[in-house]
């Protein structure tokens, strides 16, 4: 159904044609709109043009934020990227969504598509108690660490990625890519994490995983003990017990999938993973982390200093989805 604005625009266009013989009155009657409404629409042309110019200028900023570092973003991701620009740009989510729709900017949304888990060929009885029980963020930073493995197909082959995530800050504390599923690369992930972040770990830090063969292996169990960590495991076959880690892998594959498909060598895969991890920790802002990246959020909670100049956390909650500014 045509809106009144569309009808006024058609009338205006028709009146401007050289072969038109219809008057404003006749055209308005045909379109079912009032002449006064049409004349008011004509008078408001300058205002509409100014709004269009402003929309285009704002959309240019949205495009800059959307394409930052080559990773697509939704409206909330764009909002947070704009806040981190120099100087910060304040544009609420409702306006960002409107302009994305107006100019046809679409960010693909990940659909639920549970990928096949890596085959767990070796089974043992070394299953640890579930100490986390889905309370991932209850105890603060460096208290609960989540770890898992995902496979990455490329050029008819596979490589494997092991990560450790801080459940509270969502930081990737360590990651190791491997061409082999041997347990060594999982052990190396723990060793790197302790080497980089050991000083910030608590005496009762928990490392939580599924019941895969790597995590029930004697070498992994012994390493966890040697590093002073407490081991926890999800219930068998229950991915929700390690949901933040599963979610991270899913989103990562959404963002880097196209780049991975172009890779033909292991080195190229490593470069893609390195770039993504750097982007994720430093520049991928998250709504639930006070609109900050994981590394920024960790610094914020340990120092109390909010890193976005001129802003304080939660200031924008009432206006983010409301009246456009």
pLDDT value at position 21? 84
pLDDT value at position 139? 84
For residue range 206-217, what is the model confidence (pLDDT) as tens digits? 999 988 888 888
For residue range 43-89, what is the model confidence (pLDDT) as tens digits? 887 777 788 888 888 888 888 888 888 777 888 888 889 988 888 88
Q: Distance of CA 218 to CAs 15, 120, 186, 231, Å?
A: 84, 15, 13, 12
Which of residues 110 and 267 earns the better pLDDT score?
267
pTM score: 0.68
Q: What is the mean pLDDT of the chain?
A: 84
pLDDT value at position 130? 86
- Mean pLDDT score, 1-21: 83
pLDDT band at residue 238 using 50, 70 and 90 as cut-offs: low
For residue range 114-140, what is the model confidence (pLDDT) as tens digits? 333 433 444 456 788 888 888 888 889
Residue 25 confidence (pLDDT) above 80 = yes
Which of residues 237 and 86 earns the better pLDDT score?
86
Q: What percent of the chain has pLDDT over 70?
A: 89
In the chain the domains, ranked by start, together with CATH numbers, are 4-103 (no CATH), 127-303 (3.30.420.10)
For residue range 264-289, what is the model confidence (pLDDT) as tens digits? 999 999 999 999 999 999 999 999 99
Q: Are 295 and 171 in contact (CB under 8 A)?
A: yes
């Amino acid at each position: 159904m045509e809106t009144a604005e569309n009808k006024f625009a058609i009338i205006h266009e028709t009146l401007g044609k050289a072969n038109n013989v219809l008057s404003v009155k006749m055209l308005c009657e045909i379109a079912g709109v009032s002449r006064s409404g049409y004349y008011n629409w004509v008078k408001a042309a300058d205002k509409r043009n100014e709004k269009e110019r402003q929309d285009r200028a704002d959309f240019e900023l949205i495009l800059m934020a959307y394409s930052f570092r080559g990773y697509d973003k939704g409206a909330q991701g764009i909002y947070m990227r704009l806040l981190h620009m120099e100087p910060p740009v304040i544009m609420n989510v409702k306006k960002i969504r409107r302009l994305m729709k107006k100019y046809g900017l679409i960010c693909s949304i990940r659909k639920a598509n549970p990928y096949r888990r890596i085959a767990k060929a070796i089974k043992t009885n070394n299953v640890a108690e579930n100490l986390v029980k889905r309370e991932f963020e209850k105890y603060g930073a460096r208290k609960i660490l989540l770890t898992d493995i995902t496979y990455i197909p490329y050029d008819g082959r596979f490589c494997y990625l092991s990560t450790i995530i801080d459940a509270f800050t969502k930081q990737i504390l360590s990651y190791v890519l491997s061409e082999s599923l041997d347990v060594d690369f999982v052990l190396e992930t723990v060793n790197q994490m302790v080497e980089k972040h050991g000083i910030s770990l608590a005496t009762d830090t928990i490392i939580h995983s599924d019941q895969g063969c790597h995590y029930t292996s004697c070498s992994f169990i012994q390493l966890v003990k040697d590093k002073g960590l407490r081991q926890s495991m999800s219930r068998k076959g229950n991915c929700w017990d390690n949901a933040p880690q599963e979610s991270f892998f899913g989103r990562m594959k959404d963002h880097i999938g196209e780049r991975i498909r172009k890779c033909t060598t292991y080195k190229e895969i490593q470069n893609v993973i390195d770039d993504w991890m750097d982007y994720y920790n430093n520049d991928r802002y998250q709504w639930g982390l006070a609109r900050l990246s994981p590394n920024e959020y960790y610094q914020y909670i340990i120092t109390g200093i909010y890193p976005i100049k001129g802003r304080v956390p939660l200031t924008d909650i009432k206006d983010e989805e409301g009246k456009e500014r």
